[in-house]
Amino acid sequence: MSLYLGLPIPPTVYQALTCTCGVPFDAAGHHRMSCPRANGSTLIRGHDRLLCSLLDLARSCNVGASSSPHAVPSHTGQKRADLVFTLVTKSGNQSKQLVGDVSIRHPVLGAPRAADAVGTWLPTSVEDRYKAKNSKHARAYEAKDLLFTPLVASTYGVLHPEFLRLLWILAGEHDGDLEPGEVREIAHTDPRHHVFFKLRARVTATAAYATAMRLVGVPGAVHPPPRPR
């Protein structure tokens, strides 16, 4: 919450005063969020938590999804994205594979070099990461007649429009049965809207958890997610 409000990050029993790269941690938390050496395996664990959440959401919407290296197609130089969805076409008699690559982006360019620094804010950071992922994977997967989309989330809970589009597609595959007693907004009578809002809330909550993992900086302080299937 302090990160979102721009307040100093409260110290914890796990935090050191200086990063392993030699730079003091800034009070705003941006160095810890930006420096790979500060995060270590928490970057991977946060990424995997979001990946597992996406797999669960897809399966709850009756969409096949897998992150197994045997299922996710590779391309040039054995490069491979994170997961693959099996989507049924509108005709209902064919399926199409959509390959996705997950990324959580902190909207600060570079790590502060002093304890009182605040870093350089980059409003286009989510879009920049989206373009970088596209440049890395899109053409190679297109050559294999596969769809590809980067799935980029901000540490502040902002999802790239293509991420939202995927959630809307998944919501359309849901059977429409909501949990008993669930409140429905008057403005949205289509069950697909309700499912979409639930999916979006789940993803943003998971991204927030991954953000907290970076700030704490200790993988052992949180329970790791189950291994992706």
**How far is C-alpha 79 from the geometric centre of its chain's CA atoms?**
19
Burial of 168 (0-12, 13-18, 19+ CB in 10 A): middle
The pLDDT assigned to 166 comes to 95
Q: Over its length of 229 residues, how does the chain's per-residue pLDDT go in tens digits?
A: 666 655 566 666 456 677 777 777 777 777 777 777 766 555 677 888 999 999 999 999 999 999 999 999 998 877 899 999 998 766 566 678 999 999 998 887 655 555 556 677 888 999 999 999 999 999 999 999 999 999 999 988 899 999 999 999 999 988 766 554 454 554 456 788 889 999 999 999 999 888 888 777 655 444 444 455 5
CB neighbour list of residue 100: distance below 8 Å, 6 or more residues apart: 54, 81, 82, 83, 84, 85, 148, 149, 150, 151, 166
CA distance 107 to 187: 33
For residues 91 and 173, give the distance between their C-alpha atoms in angstroms, rounded to a whole number: 14
- In which residue are the tokens 């200790």 written? 218
**Dist. CA 13–CA 216, nearest whole Å:** 9
| Residue 10 DSSP code | P
